[in-house]
Amino acid sequence: MIFLISLLICIILHESAHLLTAKIVKCKVEVFSIGFGKQLFSFTYKGTKYRIALIPIGGYNKLEHEIDYCRNKNALPNLPYRKKLLVILSGCYVNIITGLMGYFLGMKFNNYNLCYFGWISTLLGITNLLPIPALDGSYPILFLMEKVIPKKYALQLMRFLITWGFILLMTLNILCLPYLVYLIRTGRL
């Protein structure tokens, strides 16, 4: 149970960091979702739909024209590169920072649960930095394609790579789910 609670908190922190950073740089967030799949609950506030979905193994922020060619200066593809990086990598940084804080505070106060949360959060932040399409770490590289090929075609290629990367990652998640359930049931996680 500690694992699931820690994972949920990590996902909320991660996605909230993306949301807040996007709003700070004036990039419109259409959807903020905790979980994937069928929507269980939602509400709209200041132009953003906040939702909780059935499969809580991740989350996402849907930014306006995230990987679409458009002329809106506040759309993610049209932001300066450094602002794109802030929006895309903020979730990873928040996971790493809160994870390290949680781990060291847990060690200091001899709190196993806090150490465990810290370990999960740090690991989630670091693995999300991997340059695999659909993970946050791929975007800095993918956005550099705009420097080599015209933006319209770079965004089409990004969409293709991210879609297939997401399908691959979700397939791996689903395949690993029985093992995760086994670890939780046997108290190993």
29 and 19 Cβ atoms separated by less than 8 Å? yes
Which pair of tokens denotes residue 115? Answer: 């150490």
Q: Based on DSSP, count helices (H) and strands (E) in the chain, helices before strands.
A: 5, 2
What crossing angle do the helices spanning 2-24 and 112-127 adopt, rounded to 10°? 50
Please tell me whether residue 155 adopts helix, strand or coil conformation. Answer: helix
Task: Please list, residue by residue across 158-167, b when 16 or more beta carbons sit within 10 angstroms of its beta carbon and e when fewer do.
Answer: beebbeebbe
- Among 15, 30, 66, 146, which one carries the catalytic annotation? 15
Our answer to whether residue 15 is catalytic in this structure is yes
Please tell me whether residue 6 adopts helix, strand or coil conformation. Answer: helix
Dist. CA 91–CA 115, nearest whole Å: 20
Catalytic amino acids?
15
